Structure 1
Amino acid sequence: MKKYPDFQLFRPIQPAIRPGRDHASYRECLPSPALTSYIYCYWQLTSLPSLSEPFVYRVVADGCIDLFFHTDHPEDVYVMGFSTTYTEFPLDHPFNYIGIRFLPAAFPLLFGVNAATLTNRFEPLGAVAPGLAAGLTQQATGLHNLAALQPLLDRFFEKIATGHTADADHRLLQAVDLILRAGGNIRLEKELHSGVSPRQLRRLFDFYIGDSPKTFSKVVRFQQLLHTTPTADSLKAHKHFFDAGYYDQAHFIKEFKTMYGLPPTLALP
């Protein structure tokens, strides 16, 4: 991309894994500097020996598209699209998953996949981008640790990014940047000036993001609130949800529960 949104303003958060409580470990690591316009992080989710029953992993709405695979079966790579709500994955013990989290718009840009076809779904990557699936399987076969796999992933995706010449519509990128800078708290009709009609902008967002500018703004706003590390008590006392653009407490609780899977009183410390 010639001009990409400032994703330093956007750091998608997933619920914390506490090894002593959840009997699993989760870690993220950054890609090489050449990939930071495309990939937010690589991640690994692993069960601990103390896990004795199936583990339910909750993924909250974060605006991204992920690829993931079990290291015992790297031939089975999956892609999870933009989500408007939380998703729960029941995982049998033992498990060891490695994933690649793409920043908004990056996966459709690099691989020509219409993001709207993946929204609120996860699919075998081989059915969506067979060449990418085969390449990832080749890189990952025989490796079970993210530290060992990361340099291979960096080189693999750097080659793809270097060979890619197309750019997303600059009007889409400008709109995404405006939403990120506003933390999702933006009046779309008055403040989202991108030089394109609302109908055309919706088409661009559908293809590159997976849903409308309004829905993407909601997810960004939700993620922005998580970044303020609120507690249930502080939210109740200081009404931070007003600052984030929620018009009342009921609105905030409903939207939070939709995207997180729990009400804030249970999700937050």
Structure 2
Amino acid sequence: MGRDIRELASAWSRYQRHAFHDPSPALAPWVERYWEARWDYAEPYRQKIVPYPNVHLSFGAGRADVSGVCSGYQIKVLEGRGHVFGVAFRPGCFRPFLGASVSMITDRVVPATEVFSTDLPTVLDVPTMDAFLLKHLPDDDARARQAVAAVELIAKDKGMTRVERLAGELGLSMRALQRLFAEYVGIGPKWVIRRYRLHEVTTRMAADRPINWAALAADLGYADQGHFIRDFKNIFGEPPTWYAHRY
């Protein structure tokens, strides 16, 4: 079976539109962004979604859901015309909204009414979503701020490739770091480090320049190219050279 040409060479942009919006300043410590996706497909399309350590609240197709962090890629079938409005919470910030360990919803989708009130917004725009979330804004949580700082350190420091170094930078034991990530991020620090380092791979792909895969694997802290390819396939569902064709 051949590949769907609609997924190659950024052809998706003919069928989909995406928009991103900032939350109000009062929500910025909790919410990374609002996002919207619209699509129009005459024939069903298998949309590949690669994960980041965000919890999402999404509205679309007459339902509202909370999606925990996914440990691997997902496939969603898009057909006809559709629209989804979503909230991407900052990694580490959803624990105070959930009132339980975020690891409880990892790789799960739960109805939004299980987390928020039944009085969910029906108008999907930024002012309405701001007002809704401000009404549910939790108290300050020092450990949530610590988790946010940990993930931000991983994202910004391209040399951060080992969990031991992260624990040392944060002044935590390995066990305390694992507990913090399970409780507040929903997935382990090793996975988060790997995900942000692999993001750099897709950035280089998008730049459309030749890539020395063995050298890149070494830069990202992998013992060899084989381990790098295995991790990439686990997250993206296909080897890096195959995924590069999407650009």
Shorter-chain-normalised TM-score: which range?
0.7 to 0.9
From the superposition, tell whether residues 41 and 228 of structure 1 become closer, same or farther in structure 2 (CA, over 3 Å): farther
Query: Is the alpha carbon distance of 1:178 and 1:124 closer, same or farther for their aligned partners in structure 2, counting shifts above 3 Å?
Result: same
Q: Deviations over 1:145-180 (max 9, x none)?
A: x5xx1111123223433x523332665455434423
Quick one: which amino acid aligns to residue 241 of structure 2? T
Q: Does the CA contact (< 8 Å) of 1:27 and 1:45 recur in 2?
A: yes
Q: Where does 1:68-217 land on structure 2 (aligned, <5 Å)?
A: 68-70=58-60, 72-73=61-62, 76-127=63-114, 129-131=115-117, 134-135=118-119, 137=120, 139=121, 141=122, 143=123, 149-161=125-137, 164-168=139-143, 172-183=147-158, 185-193=160-168, 194-217=170-193
- State the secondary structure of the residue aligned to 2:58: strand
Could you tell me how far apart the structure 2 residues matched to 1:207 and 1:17 are? 39
User: Match for 2:26 among 34, 58, 68?
Assistant: 34
Give the direction of change, closer, same or farther, for the CA distance of 1:64–1:171 in structure 2 (3 Å limit): closer
Partner of 1:244: 220
Match of 1:254 among 230, 236, 241: 230
| Kept after mapping to 2: 8 A contact 1:178/1:192 | no
Q: Distance in 1 between matches of 2:56 and 2:145?
A: 24
CA separation in 1, counterparts of 2:33 and 2:144?
24
* Other-structure match for 2:17: 25
Tell me, yes or no, if the aligned pair for 2:95 and 2:102 is still in contact at 8 Å.
yes
Displacement of 1:253 in angstroms is: 1.7
Q: How far apart in 2 are the matches of 1:170 and 1:30?
A: 20
Separation in 2, partners of 1:157, 1:190: 35
Partner Cα distance (1:17, 1:36) in 2: 33
Unmatched tracts of structure 1, length 5 or more: 1-15
Q: CA deviation at 1:233?
A: 5.8
**Native 8 Å contact 1:26 1:45 kept in 2:** yes
CA contact (8 A) 1:107 1:113 kept: no
Q: State the TM-score, normalized to the length of structure 1.
A: 0.76
Name the CA distance, whole Å, in 2 between partners of 1:208 and 1:188. 17
Alpha-carbon displacement from aligned partner over 1:124-143 (angstroms, at most 9, x marks no partner): 2223x142xx24x2x2x2x4
Unaligned runs of 5+ in 2: 1-9
**Residues of 2 paired with 1:114 and 1:186: CA distance?**
25
Give the match's secondary structure for 2:238.
coil
Sequence identity percentage: 27
Q: Is the 8 A contact 2:59 2:84 kept in 1?
A: yes
Partner-residue secondary structure (3-state), 1:250: helix
Q: Which residue of 2 aligns with 1:63?
A: 53
TM-score, normalising length: structure 2: 0.82
Aligned-pair distance for 1:208?
0.5
Superposition RMSD in Å: 2.8
In the TM superposition, residue 249 of structure 1 has moved relative to its aligned partner by: 2.0
